[in-house]
């Protein structure tokens, strides 16, 4: 009777769930907000506590699988850099947790885990080649090529958010200029709105109201032209980069997840249009499906679970 624990670490919260050998409905799920954490404890102590609170007595856990928002070497299980958790620079998380819980541990990048989740249980079922893109505080992706997750030599492949778009000199969260994330992520959309307002452009939103993309999406829905233009600009930039991804990997599905994707057609329509405009042959889009994430908030947990079951079968 194999049991699994999947953990999804986000920028502002951690979620963990306890699963049996089958299905994606957890027996138990717990979450903590890292915004309201007791700062006397480290994020790692909270992570340990969260996992511990799910492990039942007298039942062996087959594997623990952790999805991390940052650069992870999945071969060594080392977190190289996670912007929301600066203390985890070059941190051997897999070794630490497997020593602590005496259980096999898998550590992976969140967008890669999410791609596995959507591929196995969500919008990517039945596809052999797909790309999952998450548009949120940052922009990440996971790519399935010929029925395999694309990892690369050190497991660092598919960082779509840091592809230079060149037409913009905005500084990215990584410190470089003009990356996709600096143009089309949630904070980038908000910042563009605020810059436009500072230049005298009109909107139904005030400068301070532009700090949340949810609010900008609502304003777009109510017909605010500047809010519509903000999503259009982001969608175009993402679509342009995706056209290059189509040229590289020729996927049959693009799945868009993350909080900003909930703005729906305001982001997705210009994105779709930009893909068609930039591919050099329409054969790339003839069989292509573009859809939203089906698993939503659970995509990271389900992805981590999928990897745990495939590496440590019941």
Question: Footprint of Zn ion on this chain (CB under 5 A)?
Answer: 162, 172, 174, 176, 179
Distance CA 162, CA 170 (A): 12
- Whether residue 110 contacts residue 68, with contact meaning beta carbons closer than 8 Å, is answered with yes
Q: How far is the CB of 192 from Zn ion (least distance, A)?
A: 16
CB 113, CB 304: distance < 8 Å: yes
Q: Of 74 and 138, which has the nearer Cβ to Zn ion?
A: 138
User: In this structure, are residues 158 and 211 in contact, taking their beta carbons and an 8 Å threshold?
Assistant: no
Q: Closer CB to Zn ion, residue 176 or residue 287?
A: 176
Inter-residue contact 107 to 101 (CB < 8 Å): no
Smallest distance from the beta carbon of 187 to Zn ion, in angstroms?
Answer: 12
Question: What whole-number distance in Å separates Cα of residue 277 and Cα of residue 146?
Answer: 26
Smallest gap from Cβ 159 to Zn ion, in A, equals 8
> Cβ closer to Zn ion: 6 or 234?
234
If the CB atoms of residues 174 and 285 are measured against Zn ion, the closer one turns out to be 174
Q: How far is the CB of 34 from Zn ion (least distance, A)?
A: 23
Of the pair 4, 85, the CB lying nearest Zn ion is at 85
Residue 34 three-state SS: helix
CB of 258 to Zn ion, least distance (A): 16
Closest CA to 108 of 296, 303, 298, 297: 303
- For Zn ion, which residue has the nearest CB? 172
Who's near 122: CB < 8 A, 6+ residues apart?
255, 293, 294, 295, 299, 302
3-state secondary structure of 209: helix
d(CA 18, CA 192): 41
- C-beta of 186: minimal distance to Zn ion in Å? 15
Residue 31 vs 176, nearer CB to Zn ion:
176
């Amino acid at each position: 009777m194999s049991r699994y624990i999947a953990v999804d670490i986000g920028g502002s919260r951690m979620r963990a769930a306890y699963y049996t050998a089958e299905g994606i409905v957890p027996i138990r799920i717990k979450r903590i907000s890292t915004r309201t954490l007791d700062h006397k404890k480290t994020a790692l102590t909270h992570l340990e506590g969260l996992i511990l609170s799910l492990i039942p007595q007298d039942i062996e856990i087959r594997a623990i699988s952790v999805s991390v928002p940052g650069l992870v070497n999945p071969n060594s299980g080392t977190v190289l850099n996670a912007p929301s958790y600066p203390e985890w620079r070059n941190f051997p998380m897999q070794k630490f947790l497997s020593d602590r819980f005496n259980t096999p541990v898998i550590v992976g990048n969140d967008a890669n885990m999410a791609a596995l989740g959507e591929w196995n249980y969500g919008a990517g079922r039945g596809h052999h080649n797909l790309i999952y893109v998450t548009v949120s505080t940052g922009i990440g992706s996971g790519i399935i090529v010929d029925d395999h997750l694309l990892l690369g030599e050190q497991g660092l492949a598919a960082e779509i958010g840091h592809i230079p778009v060149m037409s913009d000199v905005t500084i990215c969260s990584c410190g470089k200029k003009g990356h996709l994330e600096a143009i089309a992520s949630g904070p980038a959309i908000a910042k563009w709105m605020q810059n436009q307002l500072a230049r005298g452009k009109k909107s139904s939103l005030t400068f301070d109201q532009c700090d949340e993309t949810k609010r900008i999406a609502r304003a777009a829905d109510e017909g605010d032209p500047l809010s519509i233009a903000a999503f259009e600009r982001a969608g175009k930039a993402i679509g342009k980069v995706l056209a290059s991804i189509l040229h590289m990997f020729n996927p049959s599905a693009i799945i868009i997840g993350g909080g900003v994707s909930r703005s729906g057609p305001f982001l997705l329509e210009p994105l779709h249009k930009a893909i068609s405009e930039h591919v050099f042959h329409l054969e790339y889009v003839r069989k292509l499906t573009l859809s939203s994430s089906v698993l939503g908030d659970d995509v990271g947990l389900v992805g981590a679970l999928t990897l745990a079951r495939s590496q440590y079968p019941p």
